[in-house]
Amino acid sequence: MTPGLRRQLEAVRAELERCPEGLVAHVRRVRAEALDLARIWDVDPVRTELAVWGHDLFRAHSPSAQLRLARETGLPVVAADEASPVLLHGPLAAHVLRERFRVIDEEALAAVRDHTLGAPTMPLLAKIVLLADKVETRKRDRDPALRPIRRLARRDLDLALLCWADWKWVHERERRWLGHPAHWQARLAWVREHHTEAALPPIRPEAALLPASENT
């Protein structure tokens, strides 16, 4: 860890703590979940905190402000974003972290950018932040279906992501919400990866790989 990374973390945290109290409380709950997962999966806690404190910098902005800022910064805006501009708050935050706070950690930036919809390929840190954001205490109390996803994340992050994507798909269909094409592409990639891995032959014990003369 460099002193510069710690300074970036403190600056981003100070900025987030100016947000509404409820949002700050949510981020603190996400921080607790993310640091626990970071410990389990051996991810640097300072980089984890940087992504956590940065992921919701624009969550409290109005829909019109999020759309305006996205267009001003040149972010791509599709129909699903126009229907639900809150989906832009991650990409907006990643842009500001890079441009204003001089964050150059690409994995931390990916974690911030993709924490709402996911992406076909995600670094370990991004998977941790997304899942921590979805299963923090308040959310899983509101929807108990998220509890087994939280438990699964401690054993298999990729499978937990896929289960969350299934939960999200049902959640959106029940509410007749417009799904986002970026999330659908991520989900398809996760499904392909899971089934490819499931189709691989089982790992053979090392002894079985030895010549017969050495295996007696």
Asked if residue 34 belongs to a domain, the reply is yes
Residue at 211 is within a domain: no
pLDDT in tens, 44-97: 999 999 999 999 999 999 999 999 999 999 999 999 999 999 999 999 999 999
Is 208 a member of any domain? no
Angle at 195 between CA 87 and CA 204, to 5 degrees: 135
pTM above 0.75, yes or no: yes
Range(s) of the domain holding residue 181:
3-199
In a domain, 206, yes or no: no
215: in domain:
no
- The number of folded domains in the chain is 1
Taking only the tens place, the pLDDT of each residue in 100-148 is 999 999 999 999 999 999 999 999 999 999 999 999 999 999 999 999 9
CATH assignment at residue 48: 1.10.3210.10
Phi-psi region of 118 (alpha: psi -120 to 50; beta: other; left: phi over 0): left
Let me know if residue 205 belongs to a domain.
Answer: no
Residue 188 included in any domain: yes
E strands present in the chain? none
Please report whether residue 43 resides in a domain. yes
On whether the CB atoms of residues 130 and 167 are closer than 8 A, the answer is no
